[in-house]
Amino acid sequence: MALKSTIFKASLNISNIDRGYYAEHGLTLARHPSETDERMMVRLLTFALYADEALAFGKGLSSEEEPDLWQKDLTGLVERWIEVGLPDERRVRHACGRAKEVVVVSYGNAADVWWKQSRGKLERLDNLTVIRLPTDGTQALAKLAQRTMLLHCTVQDGVQMWNGGDDTVAIEPVIWKPSSVKNGNTK
């Protein structure tokens, strides 16, 4: 018998001062049986960073044809394809051919090794952004994970401040490779 995804509900209030984006999102996250709380919360962090009414969670780990998050225009064309973790270089190239902009949000202890191995090939992709999240920040964010979450995320000067209950977590993403394509939604 196959294991089912665990459903998490998040009420996420976003105040992105850098982008001038202020909104509340009621989100449902399906955590794949092989997914950790840390990875799920990184997906939520990424949603907050790129928040838009058209941004949606994809099937991610459950599908090779969909990313973790994506944003499509009204015609169905993929404007932004977002991968969380350490994707295979071929998957990233495939995504760059399908979307106007591709973002890889890397995290964890293996991220530095992954970037060292993949950097040469990935730096050639003009529409790719690669972001590194600090491990201590993503591990602290994972502790905020609950089946029902009330979270507030403030983004200012590139730093995300997460509040959940009595806990506050600060995370400053590092851009390893910026995209030369500007979509107007990242900052």
Residue 185, in any domain of the structure:
no
Q: In CATH, what number is assigned to the domain containing residue 172?
A: 3.10.640.10
Residue 1, in any domain of the structure:
no
Residue 136, in any domain of the structure:
yes
Residue 182, in any domain of the structure:
no
Residue 183, in any domain of the structure:
no
Q: How many domains does the chain have?
A: 1
Nearest to 149 by CA among 13, 11, 43: 11
Residue 70, in any domain of the structure:
yes
pLDDT band for position 184 (cuts 50, 70, 90): very low
Residue 110, in any domain of the structure:
yes
Instruction: Give the residue, 105 or 165, on which the prediction is more confident.
Output: 105
Q: Is the pLDDT of residue 2 over 70?
A: no
Q: What are the two backbone dihedrals, phi and then psi, of residue 124, each rounded to the nearest 5 degrees? A: -80, -15
Kindly report, residue by residue over 15-63, the tens digit of the pLDDT.
999 999 999 999 999 898 889 999 999 999 999 999 999 999 987 656 6
Kindly report, residue by residue over 61-88, the tens digit of the pLDDT.
566 778 999 999 999 999 999 999 999 9
pLDDT band for position 4 (cuts 50, 70, 90): confident
Residue 143, in any domain of the structure:
yes
Owning domain of residue 98: 6-177
